Amino acid sequence: MEKISKPEVKTQDTQDAYESYLTRVSDNLFTDPDHPERGPRSRSIVYVPYRRFSEQLQQGCPEITLTDSNSPEVVEAVSAADVIVNIARGEEVVEAEIGHPDRNVKLPPESLANTEMVGDLYLQAIKTGNTDVQVVHTGRMNNKTIAMATAMPILAEAAGLNEEDVIHTPDAQIHRLVENNHIDIKELMDSVDIDPKMQAMQVGVRALRRIYKARGVDPDTASSSELTNALLDEYEKYPRISTSTLMKEQMLQNVAEKLRSEGKSEKEINEVVEKLDEFTDEEPDSVDTVTNFTNSIPMILSDKLIKNGYNADEVGAMSTEQKMELLADTEMTAVIVADIVHMPRVMWLADYLMPDNFKLVFVESRTDLDEETLQKSMEREERSFGLGSNWLSNQMGTRNPAKVGELADNAYWGKDSISNKEINDKLKNTTNLTK
């Protein structure tokens, strides 16, 4: 039998698709739904592609400075950077480490590449004398796992555990506890629906119903054991540690190894790593790229205010709007790292959500994905850009990060929370995608 091989995806085809995607994103920069009567905003945007870029791309993106990592623009930006931000790229749920039931996540190649680049940029920054640059690692989990996260109180009730103890309990023990507790999931769901004293669990029940619907399980006809098994099976695929934690750990390791390869003493290495650890923040609550920014922006503003002499407790009590107002006249620089496929959408979101006093520098990480994977991933990202830009510009109608964050949290986690798929379906049915 003749073997049919897949047609090879050519590098030039991928590059052309990438440049077309980036140009489309560039055309949507500087929008401001809060002030539609005004003309487009402006800000300094420097973009450092990992791959080459054509003269045509530069002409198609006139508002962006496209350059390489050794250019004066990048050297200057790194030396002046207030923050280096690592935008997470998903996770892979694997079997938990022995003795550590909460460590069941593996970073994908894109996040590993991002993390390596962040470490390199930090070392570059401190070599120029920029010794107090903040580093922020973003990301909690994929938005597809929100339902399980929201249904966690139900699992905790079924296992007879406090909710915060669930992720630290081995799977086998969770199974035994649920089995021994003899909780009827259907009965519990019905009780929550009608008992005013259990209203706090209603969001969890709605999330559980979404899980069952996605799995084709009818709670009204399924047996108690079927409902329990479906919940436990869903939990086995739930990431129990933040990607931000893993990326921070990996970055500290990478930096130590790099300094060691340069012949630095262990004392020198420890000094750098300890300071980097001190100046690194995790953003552990986001579930998508939008919330990567809405959750990290307040942290970045807080760090700057504290460095400017404000009391930490005073800053902690401030709203995001108050922080933005206090720093409105302070020029700041953010260096943002993401992979080649993710970066165009990251650039649009950063420009859309970050205050206008920020200069933005985007550095693509060295992600060595094959061409076919790149092409397919790029197509998904471009679709996500269309949906996301439509959601923010037309549905939310604001670029205020505090308001966007609140609206996103309500959509994902609130009493009227809906799935990511439902959000996207609503967008498709109500308005046209951004062209």
Query: CB of 419 within 8 A of CB of 210?
Result: yes
| CA 26/CA 45 separation, integer angstroms | 11
In a domain, 382, yes or no: no
Query: pTM here?
Result: 0.90
Residues 215 and 293 in one domain: no
* Contact by Cβ (8 Å): 342, 323: no
Place 390 in a pLDDT band, splitting at 50, 70 and 90: confident
In a domain, 79, yes or no: yes
Q: How far apart are CA 284 and CA 142, in angstroms?
A: 12
Question: 259 and 110 in one domain?
Answer: yes
Burial class of 199 by CB neighbour count within 10 A (0 to 12, 13 to 18, 19+): exposed
Interatomic CA distance for residues 132 and 260, integer angstroms: 22
Residue where a domain terminates, one of 236, 257, 275: 236
- Is residue 408 one of the residues assigned to a domain? no
Q: Classify residue 72 by burial, with Cβ atoms within 10 Å: 0-12, 13-18, 19+.
A: exposed
Q: What is the pLDDT of residues 208-246, one digit of tens each?
A: 999 999 999 999 899 989 999 999 999 999 999 999 999
Q: How is residue 91 written in tokens?
A: 């996770």
Q: Report the alpha-carbon distance of residue 371 to residue 400 in Å, rounded.
A: 37
Q: Within this chain, do residues 340 and 266 fall inside the same structural domain, yes or no?
A: yes
Number of domains comprising the chain:
2
d(CA 59, CA 45): 15
Which of these three, 329, 350, 369, is where a domain ends? 369
Q: Which range, of 169-173, 186-190, 203-207, 424-428, averages the lowest pLDDT? A: 424-428
Give the residue from 218, 236, 254 where a domain finishes: 236
124 lies in the same domain as 91? yes
Mean pLDDT of 100-121: 94
Question: Average pLDDT, stretch 59-64?
Answer: 88
Query: What end-to-end distance do the CA atoms of the chain give, in Å?
Result: 46
In a domain, 386, yes or no: no
Question: What does the block give as tokens for 241?
Answer: 């540690």
Cα separation values, 303 from 41, 136, 156, 275, 380, Å: 26, 11, 36, 15, 34
Tokens 């302070």 label which residue?
Answer: 330
Q: Mark whether 247 and 355 lie in a shared domain.
A: yes
Q: Same domain, yes or no, for 268 and 349?
A: yes
pLDDT tens digits for 323-380?
Answer: 999 999 999 999 999 999 899 999 999 999 999 999 999 999 987 778 888 888 888 8
Assigned domain for 7 exists: no
Confidence of residue 432 (pLDDT cuts 50, 70, 90): very low
**Is 424 within a domain?**
no
Q: What is the mean pLDDT of residues 139-146?
A: 81
As given in the structure block, the two tokens for residue 331 are: 């020029």
Work out the number of other CB atoms within 10 angstroms of the CB of residue 163.
14
- CA–CA dist 117, 366 (Å, integer): 7
Provide the pLDDT for residue 9.
44
Radius of gyration of the chain, Cα coordinates, nearest whole angstrom: 23
Strand (E) or helix (H) holding 187:
helix 185-194
pLDDT tens for residues 87-96?
988 788 999 9
Same structural domain for residues 134 and 189?
no
Residues 158 and 293 in one domain: no
User: Which residues, at least 6 apart from 172, have a Cβ–Cβ distance to it below 8 Å?
Assistant: none
pLDDT of residue 395 exceeding 70, the answer is: yes
C-alpha distances in Å from residue 261, one per residue of 128, 257, 265, 266: 20, 6, 10, 11
User: Which of 403-412 are b and which e, b meaning 16 or more Cβ less than 10 Å from the residue's Cβ?
Assistant: bbbebbbebb
Residue 368 has a CB neighbour count (10 Å cut-off) of: 9
Predicted confidence (pLDDT) at residue 104 exceeds the cutoff of 70: yes
How much is the average pLDDT of 160-167?
A: 92
Distances (CA, A) of 423 to 178, 349, 395, 410: 33, 18, 10, 12
8 A C-beta contact, residue 100 and residue 210:
no
Q: Residue 7 above 60 pLDDT?
A: no
Element (H, E) at 361: strand 358-364
CB 171 within 8 A of CB 96: yes
Q: Are 193 and 205 in contact (CB under 8 A)?
A: yes
Provide the pairing of β-strand 105-106 with 92-93: antiparallel
Contact 418, 425 (CB under 8 A): no
229 and 250: one domain? no
> Is residue 131 located within the same domain as residue 152?
no
The answer as to whether 365 is a domain residue is yes
CA 131 to the chain's CA centroid: 26
Q: Write down the pLDDT at residue 261.
A: 97
Looking at the domain assignment, is residue 83 inside a domain?
A: yes
Domain range for residue 321?
44-142+243-369
Residues 283 and 350 in one domain: yes
- For residue 415, the model assigns a pLDDT of 65
Neighbours of 265 (CB within 10 A): 10
Indicate whether 335 and 195 sit together in one domain.
no
Contact, 148 vs 208, CB < 8 A?
Answer: no
